[in-house]
Copies of this chain bind each other. A is one copy, B any other.
Amino acid sequence: MKRFTPLCFVLALSAPLFLSAQDEKIDLNAIQKIRQEEAQRSKVMDIAFHLTDVNGPRLTVSPGFTKAANYAIQQLKSWGLTDATLDPWGEFGKGWELQRSYVAMSAPYYKSVIALPKAWCSGTNGLQNAEVIVVSAKDSASLDVYRGKLAGKIIIMDRSEDYKQSFSADATRYDADALQKMAEAKPGRPGPPDSAAMRARREQFAQLRIQATLPNIIKTIAKAEGAVAILSTNSRSHDGTVFVQGGGGFKASDPENFLDLAMAYEDYMSMLRLAKSGTPVKMEVDVKTKFTTNDTKGYNVIAEIKGSDKNLKDEVVMLGGHLDSWHGGTGATDNASGCAIMMEAVRLIQATGVKPKRTIRIALWSGEEEGLFGSRGYVKKTFGDPATMQLLPAHTKFSSYFNVDNGTGKIRGVYLQGNENVKNIFASWLQPFKDSGASTITVNNTGGTDHLSFDAVGLPGFQFIQDPIEYNTRTHHSNMDTYDHLIENDLKNSAAIVAAFVYNAAMRDEKLPRKELPKVGGNQRGF
């Protein structure tokens, strides 16, 4: 659906058919075909359009996720993949959908505000016009003064003013210096300074820990007393971009969560200042949410391109990304982009007619946002249990797993995930893509996503280095994680690189070398 811009990275036809770099043989002819197919007949934006605009948000177990998963299965089948299926990985919990969300300030004057209910929250039981009450507390004891005062109220927690204008760009690409620093990183050193997913996940976990304290106590009191809602914000949620995740438990046995509205910083602070100055502030809120409990199991999408070599077809190369998303936007950069890249990569392999020797298996995970549940469940039932390190037969037949989950930014290289044995292999695999800016190899780990589930049982799992673009500033878990924030050429580039990596792994004489097996009890690294 985006304007077509010809890719300028198609190899000249005079390129040698085989390149031997650092003892790695590469089928340059196949890679050339892959790049040509991507440049001339890309479907990556069409896939992204279906996963985002057409489908809507894809919260795990919710109708949006199921719709997207079924679309993916139908597409993968249409490209000739086999055994395309919704593969259950275990118990997840309730589905949840937003059916109405109207939030406005109604006094001291009418003002449209930007706010979204957090996932798995209950609604308001119709339109409410409620007074805003400021709750100011440093510890749980000081919350006592609010007991008995919250019925029919909307709670705004007092907070300090911490917004600063953005004097740096929202969208960035790695410059030569940043890539050089990654390349020079030593094993065991901390991750790269701006590993997007890792930082975001740490923030998320830190936030969850805080949520376990004051706001959760007040929410419990508020729910018991019949308050209407609580308002939340943070200084990242500025300019209309609102970051919004889950509002509490989602297990089948969990009660519905008290309505927690993630709100634009400007709207929140304006109401807070007014209320603190003694001006009565009222809000109109009409939120309707729907919980679905018809099937509380989690499913991944799995499909295969069967290997062509009789000796190697039982060995598996995997590629994947999580299909589930948060609900503020349509999960375009987190992670329709990764799924579109992976789906396009297998399409490229099929469309070019190359015949990979090993079996290539694509996985689109669910439950990633809540804790990598889909990939962990799949790895546990397929390859082994990271808790006991009891391994299954498929563990020995596994080559490698490649993951994309850092937004729309084009691939600039790959994280070795501490596995220096693959450094020279990846260096030679990246060589044909040097012209597209993908040449950096770092021994660093990167965390926060599904390759960790493989790493946890000692299987080679890798994530690519991607340009950050707006991942940390605008799109990651926000209402702006939408199709228009995707960059077509970056996705095309990435699809060709992933297809080449997967194909190379499927054609290589040996499976990819591994790190030492993790010790029992020591394999939760990076989670």
Residue positions of A touching B, CB distance < 8 A: 1-3, 49, 52-57, 64, 97-102, 104, 108-112, 114, 116, 160-161, 163, 165-173, 238-242, 264-266, 269-270, 273-274, 277, 279, 284, 286, 329-330, 469-470, 474, 479-480, 482-485, 487
A57 to B111, CA, bound (A): 9
Interchain CB contact under 8 A, B172 and A169 = no
Interchain CB contact under 8 A, A53 and B273 = yes
Partner of A270, one of B2, B241, B264, B483: B483
Q: If A166-B170, A270-B483 touch, does A116 touch B111 (CB 8 Å cutoff)?
A: no
Residues of B contacting A101 in the complex (Cβ-Cβ under 8 angstroms): 104, 112
Residues of B contacting A487 in the complex (Cβ-Cβ under 8 angstroms): 165
Interchain CB contact under 8 A, B171 and A166 = yes
Taking the closest CB of chain B, its distance from the CB of A358, in whole angstroms, is 37
Partner of A54, one of B49, B108, B114, B240: B108
Residues of B contacting A56 in the complex (Cβ-Cβ under 8 angstroms): 108-111
Q: If A165-B171, A485-B266 touch, does A480 touch B53 (CB 8 Å cutoff)?
A: no
Q: A97-B110, A101-B104 are in contact. List 13 more A-B contacts (CB 8 A).
A: A56-B108, A99-B110, A112-B116, A114-B240, A114-B479, A165-B170, A166-B470, A168-B169, A169-B169, A238-B480, A238-B484, A240-B264, A270-B330
A515 to B101, CA, bound (A): 58
A480 to B166, CA, bound (A): 14
Interchain CB contact under 8 A, B53 and A270 = yes
Partner of A100, one of B3, B54, B99, B104: B104
Residues of B contacting A102 in the complex (Cβ-Cβ under 8 angstroms): 102, 104, 286
Taking the closest CB of chain B, its distance from the CB of A38, in whole angstroms, is 20
A239 to B265, CA, bound (A): 13
Taking the closest CB of chain B, its distance from the CB of A97, in whole angstroms, is 7
Taking the closest CB of chain B, its distance from the CB of A340, in whole angstroms, is 15
Q: If A53-B273, A165-B171, A166-B171 touch, does A64 touch B109 (CB 8 Å cutoff)?
A: yes
Copies of this protein, total: 2
Interchain CB contact under 8 A, A482 and B110 = no
Residues of B contacting A114 in the complex (Cβ-Cβ under 8 angstroms): 114, 240, 479
Q: Look across to chain B and name the residue whose beta carbon is closest to the beta carbon of A469.
A: B165
Interchain CB contact under 8 A, B239 and A242 = no
Q: If A54-B279, A98-B110, A110-B99 touch, does A240 touch B484 (CB 8 Å cutoff)?
A: no
Interchain CB contact under 8 A, A482 and B241 = no
A11 to B170, CA, bound (A): 38
Residues of B contacting A98 in the complex (Cβ-Cβ under 8 angstroms): 110-112
Taking the closest CB of chain B, its distance from the CB of A337, in whole angstroms, is 13
Residues of B contacting A266 in the complex (Cβ-Cβ under 8 angstroms): 329, 480, 482-485
A138 to B97, CA, bound (A): 40
Residue of A56, A160, A469 with highest tally of chain B CB at under 10 A: A56
Interchain CB contact under 8 A, A484 and B170 = no
Residues of B contacting A54 in the complex (Cβ-Cβ under 8 angstroms): 108, 274, 277, 279
Partner of A240, one of B57, B111, B172, B241: B241
A110 to B269, CA, bound (A): 28
Residues of B contacting A169 in the complex (Cβ-Cβ under 8 angstroms): 166-169
Can you list 24 A-B contacts (CB < 8 A)? A2-B161, A52-B270, A53-B273, A54-B277, A56-B108, A97-B110, A98-B110, A98-B111, A100-B284, A101-B104, A102-B286, A114-B240, A165-B170, A165-B171, A165-B469, A166-B171, A166-B470, A170-B170, A238-B480, A240-B241, A240-B264, A265-B484, A269-B483, A270-B482
Taking the closest CB of chain B, its distance from the CB of A70, in whole angstroms, is 14
Residue of A99, A160, A264, A266 with highest tally of chain B CB at under 10 A: A266
Residues of B contacting A99 in the complex (Cβ-Cβ under 8 angstroms): 110
Partner of A273, one of B49, B116, B163: B49
